[in-house]
Amino acid sequence: MIQKLKIFLKDLKKNQIAIRNGQQQIWASQKLQTLFKNEVFIPQTSWSLEPETILHILNIISIKKPKNIIEFGGGVTTLYIAKLLKLQNYKTNFISVESDVDWMLTLKNQLCDNDLISFVSQIHAPIETIDSKYSYKNQQTWYSTAAIEEGIKDISHFDLVIVDGPFGGSTPYARFSAMPFLTDYTSIKTTWLLDDTNREYEKEIIREWTEFSKLSCRIFKRYSVLEKNSEFDLSSLKI
Ligand SMILES: C[S@@+](CC[C@H](N)C(=O)[O-])C[C@H]1O[C@@H](n2cnc3c(N)ncnc32)[C@H](O)[C@@H]1O
């Protein structure tokens, strides 16, 4: 009897967490929708960052006003960030690195349709074999470093790095190289956001990055943020 009651209470708690998570995502979606007029449809797929994560990124941008932002893996994030930069008139350089040329062109069309293309510099960086100085364990590939170097040659420091690519299944530890590759372009002042840290490879990546960077790590349901200890809490509202 007691055992049955324990199982019931455990299930109840799980359901309550799931409901609260759903409410938070709905709240975040509604908040994001205010950026675009209702007649614009922003595609949101299972590959997209969750609304709560996007809102956290937009909070970081509007409070910290980063001068230079780089994202790995374009999509709805690119549209929302560009829209915020436009609306708020921020003088921010925003670079979006994408490996898939068709996806990049689709995104470019959406940026053009919404009059946002001038707020993003897209870099096409195909997936290639990665130099061992940037790889981790049995990781084989990452974005073309030559293509990225060319695209960021005028930038000396990134204040915000968003890592949601390459596609996690492309190689083990597919996203690891962002931090070693950007070492000379980042500092203790940089905020890092890595998505999918509920997955085993990304969990290990964030552990390694935390140790390497000496920044503080906050782990959320599906993503993690690395930043200086003293920063404000910019995660989106908990209901
Ligand atoms: C996790 S996705 C990046 C999603 C992006 N940050 C967003 O929030 O929309 C990583 C890569 O998968 C590819 N991708 C994006 N959406 C996809 C989809 N719906 N189906 C298949 N591949 C997709 C793109 O090449 C992208 O760079």
pLDDT digits (tens, 9 = 90+) for 28-55: 888 888 888 767 888 889 999 999 999 9
Is the pLDDT confidence value at 237 over 70?
no
Would the CB of 68 count as within 6 Å of ligand 1? no
Token pair listed for 172: 């083990």
Q: Residue 204, Cβ neighbours under 10 Å: how many? A: 16
Is the pLDDT confidence value at 180 over 70?
yes
Average pLDDT over residues 216-227: 94
Mutational pocket test of ligand 1: of 141, 167, 193, the residue with most ligand atoms within 8 Å of the beta carbon: 167
- Least trusted range by pLDDT, from 28-32, 147-151, 154-158: 28-32
Average pLDDT over residues 182-189: 97
Instruction: Give 91: exposed, middle or buried? Use CB within 10 Å, 0-12, 13-18, 19+.
Output: exposed
With DSSP H G I counted as helix, E B as strand and the rest as coil, what are the percentages for the chain, rounded to 5?
Answer: 45, 15, 40
pLDDT tens-digit profile of 63-106? 999 999 999 999 999 999 999 999 999 999 999 999 999 999 99
- Cα separation, 108 vs 144, whole angstroms: 20
Which of 9-18, 80-89, 229-238 is modeled with the greatest confidence? 80-89
Atom of ligand 1 nearest to the CA of 162: 6
Q: What is the pLDDT of residue 3?
A: 85
* From the candidate CATH numbers 3.40.630.10, 3.40.50.1820, 3.40.50.150, 3.40.250.10, the one assigned to the domain spanning 2-227: 3.40.50.150
Q: What is the pLDDT of residue 41?
A: 83
For the chain, the domains span 2-227
Average pLDDT over residues 126-146: 98
pTM: 0.93
- Residue 111 contacts residue 86 (beta carbons within 8 Å): no
- Cα separation, 90 vs 61, whole angstroms: 9
Would the CB of 164 count as within 6 Å of ligand 1? yes
Q: Pick the closest to residue 163 from 128, 200, 206, 102 (CA basis).
A: 206
Question: Which residue's CA is minimally distant from atom 16 of ligand 1?
Answer: 47
Cα 142 to the chain's mean position, in Å?
16
Q: What's the gap in Å between 73 CA and the centre of ligand 1?
A: 6
Question: Which residue's CA is minimally distant from atom 22 of ligand 1?
Answer: 47
Q: Checking DSSP bridges between strand 216-219 and strand 223-227, what pairing results, if any?
A: antiparallel
169 against 218, higher pLDDT:
218
Q: What is the pLDDT of residue 86?
A: 96
Is the pLDDT confidence value at 239 over 60?
no
- Least trusted range by pLDDT, from 133-137, 182-186, 219-223: 219-223
Q: What is the pLDDT of residue 1?
A: 78
Is the pLDDT confidence value at 230 over 80?
no
Average pLDDT over residues 107-130: 97
Q: Residue 165, Cβ neighbours under 10 Å: how many? A: 27
Q: What's the gap in Å between 32 CA and the centre of ligand 1?
A: 19
Would the CB of 78 count as within 6 Å of ligand 1? no
- Residue 172 contacts residue 139 (beta carbons within 8 Å): yes
Q: What is the pLDDT of residue 53?
A: 96
Q: What's the gap in Å between 226 CA and the centre of ligand 1?
A: 22
Would the CB of 159 count as within 6 Å of ligand 1? no
